């Protein structure tokens, strides 16, 4: 088997394999996402949970593992690293040496662990959260997405250090790790904004403005930074499959509400939201990346942004009607309903008049959504070019 020589931040030449810590950090990102979706389902199915509930432990496990492995790597390079290793590392706080990905993971782990007692105090003081973005949850989400970004940066740094290895097994595995870490950060992004991206919002223009603000940033940056021809499509597929699997698995386990009033008696965990169909605009984004790479950055951003909004509108608007029509279908997870909400609400599986934007709102709102997506794409393009040069 042909072996390619790599330049690593940790040492000199290495053989054709991915470092163990990269796999661990990506798995830590997966643990965080499993715990987060499970925790949301716990709140909608059972209600109040303790500091050491099972979903919380899954979240904290991911944070601790990412922080410990990154911290150990930083200490090893700082204390026992060679001058070459230190020269290929980032110096921070005037003392420590490590990779940029390690630094993000350490910051994220600190934020996550700080949020844990704060969140427990918040619940004991104010009761059950009514939104995802409460103050302690915001700190927690910041820590989680920082770790996930650290995973993406670490994998891309390893990819960028490889020379003439496009068809090697290590490059193929790097593409897998990029797809996984990118897919998990897409899932985190969707989860953070899920209150505005559910099926009841899909016939309103605000849905497409928020989607145009969030997703092109990550899809374009991943498409540009990855050496894979499908740098945006593969993470979008991971995002889709992950959320679908979570929606199928969670309802298999029993759950009983522990808070009142219980207007919707349930006996199993409630599924989360069905993933958005961002895989379709992601395909077009990858095609644009390959065929328009020599064009002006703003021209590319216009192509990215308008394509994203129009393709998402074409596929997501009718799919919203499909989700509403599939009443309680296991495949789509549309049985989801909070135990404290009336299950017989007339708009549970229908759009209320206030949920549907008027024709005039569409004529004004879609150009605004496109402009937002263009700006998001332009930032994502610059971000992707930066990540393509990361070697530390």
Q: What is the pLDDT of residues 248-288, one digit of tens each?
A: 999 999 988 887 788 889 999 999 999 999 999 999 999 99
What average pLDDT does this structure show over 72-83?
81
| CB 63 within 8 Å of CB 69 | no
Match 């192509």 to its residue by tokens: 303
Provide the pLDDT confidence category of residue 186 given band limits of 50, 70 and 90. Answer: very high
Measured distance CA(135)–CA(122) in Å, rounded: 9
pLDDT of residue 124: 67
Measured distance CA(204)–CA(14) in Å, rounded: 53
- Packed helices 20-45 and 233-249: angle between N→C axes, nearest 10 degrees: 40
205 has pLDDT over 60: yes
67 has pLDDT over 70: yes
pLDDT of residue 29: 92
Span 337-348, pLDDT tens digits = 988 899 999 999
User: What are the tokens at 329?
Assistant: 């279908």
**68-72, 169-173, 187-191, 303-307: range with lowest mean pLDDT:** 169-173
Span 24-59, pLDDT tens digits = 999 999 999 999 999 999 988 988 666 778 888 999
User: What are the tokens at 105?
Assistant: 């993971």
161 has pLDDT over 50: yes
pLDDT of residue 1: 35
For all residues of the chain together, what is the average pLDDT? 86
Percent of the chain with pLDDT over 90: 51
State pTM to two decimals.
0.88
Measured distance CA(368)–CA(217) in Å, rounded: 16
| CB 374 within 8 Å of CB 297 | no
What average pLDDT does this structure show over 317-331?
93
Query: Domain spans of the chain?
Result: 1-192, 196-228+256-392
236 has pLDDT over 50: yes
What average pLDDT does this structure show over 114-129?
67
């Amino acid at each position: 088997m042909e072996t390619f020589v790599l330049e690593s931040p940790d040492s000199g030449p290495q053989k054709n394999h991915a470092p163990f810590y990269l796999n661990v950090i990506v798995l830590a990102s997966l643990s965080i996402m499993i715990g987060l979706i499970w925790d949301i389902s716990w709140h909608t199915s059972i209600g109040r949970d303790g500091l050491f509930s099972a979903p919380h432990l899954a979240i904290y496990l991911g944070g601790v593992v990412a922080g410990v492995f990154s911290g150990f790597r930083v200490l090893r390079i700082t204390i026992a690293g060679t001058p070459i290793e230190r020269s290929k590392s980032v110096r921070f706080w005037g003392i420590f040496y490590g990779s940029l990905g390690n630094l993000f993971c350490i910051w994220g782990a600190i934020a996550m662990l700080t949020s844990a007692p704060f969140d427990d105090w918040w619940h004991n003081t104010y009761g059950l959260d009514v939104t995802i973005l409460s103050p302690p949850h915001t700190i927690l989400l910041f820590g989680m997405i920082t770790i996930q970004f650290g995973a993406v940066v670490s994998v891309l740094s390893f990819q960028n250090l490889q020379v003439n290895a496009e068809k090697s097994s290590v490059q193929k595995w790097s593409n897998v790790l990029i797809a996984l870490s990118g897919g998990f950060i897409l899932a985190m992004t969707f989860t953070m904004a899920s209150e505005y991206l559910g099926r009841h919002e899909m016939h309103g223009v605000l849905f497409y403005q928020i989607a145009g603000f969030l997703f092109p940033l990550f899809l374009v940056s991943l498409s540009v930074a990855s050496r894979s021809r499908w740098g945006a499509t593969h993470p979008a597929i991971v995002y889709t499959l992950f959320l679908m699997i979570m929606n199928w698995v969670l309802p298999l386990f029993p759950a009983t509400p522990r808070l009142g009033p219980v207007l919707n008696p349930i006996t199993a965990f409630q599924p989360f939201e069905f993933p958005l169909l961002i895989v379709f605009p992601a395909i077009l984004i990858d095609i644009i990346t390959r065929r328009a790479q020599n064009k002006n950055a703003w021209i590319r951003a216009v192509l990215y942004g308008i394509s994203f909004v129009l393709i998402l509108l074409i596929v997501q608007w009718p799919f919203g009607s499909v989700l509403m029509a599939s009443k309680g279908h296991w495949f789509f997870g549309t049985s989801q309903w909070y135990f404290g909400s009336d299950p017989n609400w007339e708009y549970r599986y229908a759009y209320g008049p206030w949920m549907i934007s008027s024709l005039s709102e569409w004529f004004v709102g879609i150009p605004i959504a496109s402009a937002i997506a263009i700006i998001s794409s332009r930032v994502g393009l610059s971000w992707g070019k930066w990540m393509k040069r990361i070697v530390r």
